[in-house]
Amino acid sequence: MAIAIRERNVKQMDWDNLLEEIEDMSASQRRALRSYSKRLIEHILKLKYWQQERARCKNGWREEVSNFRSEILDILKDSPSLKNYLKENYSDWFDKVVVNYQKNQLFLIEDTTVIPLETMMDDNFFG
């Protein structure tokens, strides 16, 4: 297939396989974006509300927050079309993380209002 693309040989193209490869790549990038976004939300909530562990874990959590932001930005740089996917799904992911933490009762989340995506991605925001 790669040879057919390089040679622009339309007749030799396996279009079904190409479409499947593109869809698989897109799904993989969406999964990664969802995962990094949820991990970012989790760590911001830990920094904001988990007082018992904050003193001991704060620096590591902050480092993770920075890493997750960087990964999200890298994905969006490689696939700008995923910006809309992130914007459309972010609130739902935030709510799911909050529900999961409340169910597991690790710590009390006093304000379940969605923290805006722009705030979450701000390099100076750590909860």
Residue 54 in tokens: 């904050």
Tell whether 127 is covered by a domain: no
Residue 9 in tokens: 């040989």
Question: Which amino acid appears at position 26 of this protein?
Answer: S
Please report, in tens digits, the pLDDT of each residue of the chain (127 residues total).
566 667 676 667 666 665 555 555 678 899 999 999 999 999 999 999 999 999 999 999 999 999 999 999 999 999 999 999 999 999 999 999 999 999 988 888 989 999 999 999 999 999 8
Q: What is the DSSP letter of 80?
A: T
Tell whether 99 is covered by a domain: yes
Three-state DSSP class for 54?
helix
Tell whether 17 is covered by a domain: no
Report how many domains make up the chain. Answer: 1
Tell whether 12 is covered by a domain: no
Full domain range(s) for residue 45: 32-120
Tell whether 14 is covered by a domain: no
